[in-house]
Amino acid sequence: MKKLLETVELEYTFQFKLRKVNAIVPAGFKPFFNNLPIDPYMKGKYRSRRLSRFTFEGEELIKLPHGYLYQSNQYNPLVGNLKREFAELEDGLVQLDIFQQLIMAFADFCHLHPEAEIGVHQIRTSCSPNNFGNPAPEGIHQDGTDFIGIFSVDRDNIQGGQTHLYTAKKEKPVFNKILQPGELLLVNDHDFFHFTTPIKPVTAAQGTRDVFVLTSPSLIYD
């Protein structure tokens, strides 16, 4: 008699998900993107950013001390194996309810360990008629972390900036979408490569794309 194959329920971990958190109205973040220092590690001055790291103590969001960002050049061929330092997020931003809700949503959706460290990158990519902006100058890549969240804050006078996820660098993307303000894309960094296409202005003026990129672990060190 033929033996039936046993089926085993495998533990499920998520691969990627797109969420909209209605309580988080992204317009509240916008004023804090007007005072971002230029990223000194990028050629061209089209990217500006701040960076901080956080953890939770119970329900309370705790900001951790300043540190430096480090990725190996296996993950970041442009600026890997380099200690990078950025200005901290502004206190007024960190104190916003919507900011705390965003970090909590990321932690919840990714089922992070209660003591996990979360890096928060506040990034503006700018473009003008003569200079396109490149949100992912390193190309199709992984960050070298466990979980990534990309939260779209604003798209002002831009076209392009489509976010792609790939299971392998030479495959077609399994996800391809312009993230609209208020949308949060969650990605398991072990399973996917990510990329965002360049942006250019719609009209003959400057254009900007504002996002928060959250990672856990933070890749930030003392």
**Only segment of 70-78, 79-87, 143-151, 185-193 that touches Fe ion (CB under 5 A):** 143-151
CB of 2 to Fe ion, least distance (A): 49
C-alpha distance from residue 199 to each of 15, 98, 112 (Å): 26, 27, 32
Q: Give the helix, strand, coil percentages of the chain, each rounded to 5.
A: 10, 40, 50
Residue 210 binds Fe ion, judged by CB under 5 A: no
Stretch that binds Fe ion, among 69-77, 139-147, 157-165, 185-193 (CB under 5 A): 139-147
Is 39 a binding residue for Fe ion by CB under 5 A? The answer is: no
117 binds Fe ion (CB under 5 A): no
Question: Which residue's CB is nearer to Fe ion, number 3 or number 83?
Answer: 83
Let me know: does 122 contact 87? Beta carbons within 8 Å: no
- A 10 A CB-CB count for 2 gives 4
Q: Which of 39, 88, 117, 143 binds Fe ion (CB under 5 A)?
A: 143
Least distance between Fe ion and beta carbon 59 (Å): 29
Stretch that binds Fe ion, among 10-18, 92-100, 127-135, 137-145 (CB under 5 A): 137-145
129 vs 190, beta carbon nearer Fe ion: 190
The answer to whether the beta carbons of residues 26 and 96 sit under 8 Å apart is: no
Tell me whether residue 199 or residue 201 sits nearer to Fe ion (CB atom): 199
Across 95-121, b (16+ Cβ under 10 Å) vs e yields eeeebbebbebbbebbebeeebbbbbb
User: Which residues here bind Fe ion, judged by CB under 5 A?
Assistant: 143
